[in-house]
Chains A and B, each alone.
Chain A
Amino acid sequence: MGESPAISPFVILLASIFTSNMVLANFLGMCSFISVSSEFKTASGLGKAVTLVMVFTTMINWLVYRFIVLPLGLEYLRYIIFIMVIAATVQIIEMAMDRYLPELHMKLGIFLPLITVNCSILGISLFMVIRNYNLLQSLFFGIGSGLGWWLAISALAAIREKMAKSRLPKGLDGPAITFITTGIMALAFVGFSGIFVIQ
């Protein structure tokens, strides 16, 4: 890791929510974004779970990268290592939740294992490495990316719930209109660009 950029962690936080939103600016994590956004409650639940996992995995991956990968010169293995760490972290989080927060665990249920394959999780770990963030910056980056993802999917779900009662041309129903909506949302978020620049 080289020199970390001189950006305030708070700027990173706000940027990752608005200007560099994982889903709407970087188009990562689209898979579950499209398929789980039909109901607001479930979408919001998934968003919370994704945020939680993002924070944990960024932190752990940063430590693993700094203290294991770099000293041993294993940078070329970072994809595999990050994915393994993400999978293990999600499993452990699930177990801990089942023990200490059983109600929440029940509500999130199937979502937790699904998050392992959400590419935005791997994405933020890789971004943090490419941009040479230090520990604090990575932490805020993780929190912000999660909140941004949550914001995006909740907004999309709210729109879709309202749209469910509209008459759409045949063929546009389902994924088609969802993609179009996402595109329009992304265009709207372009309006934030330039306010905080981190990429």
Chain B
Amino acid sequence: MSISATVISVSLISTALAVLVVLADRIFNNYGECEIDINNGTRKFKVDGGSTLLATLASQQIFIPSACGGKATCGLCKVRMAGDAGVVLPTEEPYLTEDEKANGVRLACQLKVKQDMQLHIPEELFSVKEYKARVEKITQLTHDIKEFRFTLLGPKQIEFRAGQYMQIETRPYDNVREIVTRAYSMASLPSDNQAIELIVRLVPGGICTTFMHDHVKEGDTLILRGPFGDFYLHEGADELLFIAGGSGLAPVKSIIFDVLEKGLDKKMTLFFGAVTKKDLYYVDLFQQLADKHENFNYVPALSGPEPEDNWQGETGLITEVMKRHVADPHNKQAYLCGSPGMINACVKVLEGIGLREDSIFYDKF
């Protein structure tokens, strides 16, 4: 047979098969309309089934926290399902305790919407929005820490409590083809409501931090989601202890300035731990604040100062410095922000001094 006849027949047959596969996809992956009912009717809507619960809710402007973008590696997107939501997938298993499984808790990024669903999520998530933001200014604070100031483009204003965090979405760069979401606490004040400030410390090999430090310039637009988190000022004490390390100054700065702006009658002490002088930042900012306000005390501490630092301030690990300054737990609350190791060590010290668990606050991500 001639070549053209062969080519035509093969092309026709493969086209026919491709059409069949597409049709099959339409038929089998079409789950029809499903009704999603959140918090016993607080929000109800109909959607086309087939996508994950996380994506489906996001399309309705309801954002469940997620740091891994749906790959079942962070376990943050837990929702409580009522009724039958299907069998728990092996990808969800490692993140769910037996209690959670018994209560119908599932990972929203793994659950596919195939039928009507009823679920429960924390109320605060309803105020989480997606913001388009432009990078207004990037400031180098230390050799590996940068401050990013964003202007909000849409929505133009944000409402949050000092100490909460935002999720930022990266864009593909270099070898990285995936979009990744990471969380950063806000250093800006709630009153500065048309902007957001984030402090980002470069982690060697870190996907998001490398993106932020090396590939984001002033003028770029990024997507931020939030506000999330229950790390904010709680009532119950008149003396506040703030303990921060590395990029952990962000939420703490926000809360301290917010308290002073609101004129609340609280005595505040900020313990900032670093290794050498070059890891310190915002020193002048907090020193001036301490000079100006009687009720604010600033205690920077270096655990391994170099001789050329000529360091006159406190030395030692932040846990030791804290012990020297805090004698009793009376009327005190502690707000911690830093690496998991630092937080664990400080919590032990504070509990040793006598502070109760419900007076110690820290971000758990």
Q: Hey, which bits of chain A sit against chain B, CB under 8 A?
A: 68, 72-74, 76-77, 80-81, 84-85, 87-88, 91-92, 95-96, 98-99, 102-103, 106
Contact = CB atoms under 8 A, between A and B. Distances in A.
Interface residues of B, number: 18
Contacts of B1: 73-74, 76
Nearest to B24: A92
A89 to B, nearest CB: 9
B20 interface: yes
Interface in B1-33: 1, 6, 9-10, 13-14, 17-18, 20-21, 24-25, 28-29
Contacts of B86: 102
B24 A77 contact: no
Contacts of B90: 106
Contacts of A85: 17
Interface of B: 1, 6, 9-10, 13-14, 17-18, 20-21, 24-25, 28-29, 86-87, 89-90
Given A95-B25, A95-B28, A77 B20 contact: no
Contacts of A87: 17
Contacts, number: 42
A134 B279 CA distance: 80
Q: State the majority secondary structure of interface residues on B.
A: helix
A6 B257 CA distance: 93
Given A72-B9, A74-B9, A106-B89, A98 B28 contact: yes
Given A77-B10, A106-B89, A106-B90, A88 B28 contact: no
B21 A99 contact: no
Contacts of B87: 102-103
A106 B21 CA distance: 20
A88 B21 contact: yes
A96 B29 CA distance: 8
Chain A interface, >50% SS class: helix
Contact of A77 (B6, B25, B29): B6
B92 to A, nearest CB: 11
A85 B29 CA distance: 21
A80 B10 contact: yes
B20 A88 contact: yes
Contact of B29 (A68, A81, A95): A95
Given A77-B9, A88-B21, A92-B21, 20 more contacts: A68-B13, A77-B6, A77-B10, A80-B10, A81-B10, A81-B13, A84-B17, A88-B17, A91-B21, A91-B24, A92-B20, A95-B24, A98-B28, A98-B29, A99-B28, A99-B29, A102-B86, A103-B87, A106-B89, A106-B90
Contact of B18 (A76, A88, A95): A88
Contacts of A74: 1, 9
A96 B21 CA distance: 11
B189 to A, nearest CB: 48
Contacts of A77: 6, 9-10
Contacts of B9: 72, 74, 77
Contacts of A88: 17-18, 20-21
Nearest to A95: B28
A131 to B, nearest CB: 24
Contacts of A80: 10
Nearest to A73: B1
14 contacts: A76-B1, A84-B13, A84-B17, A85-B17, A88-B17, A88-B18, A88-B20, A91-B24, A92-B28, A95-B29, A96-B28, A98-B28, A103-B87, A106-B90
A3 B131 CA distance: 71
Nearest to A103: B87
A98 B114 CA distance: 11
Contacts of B14: 84
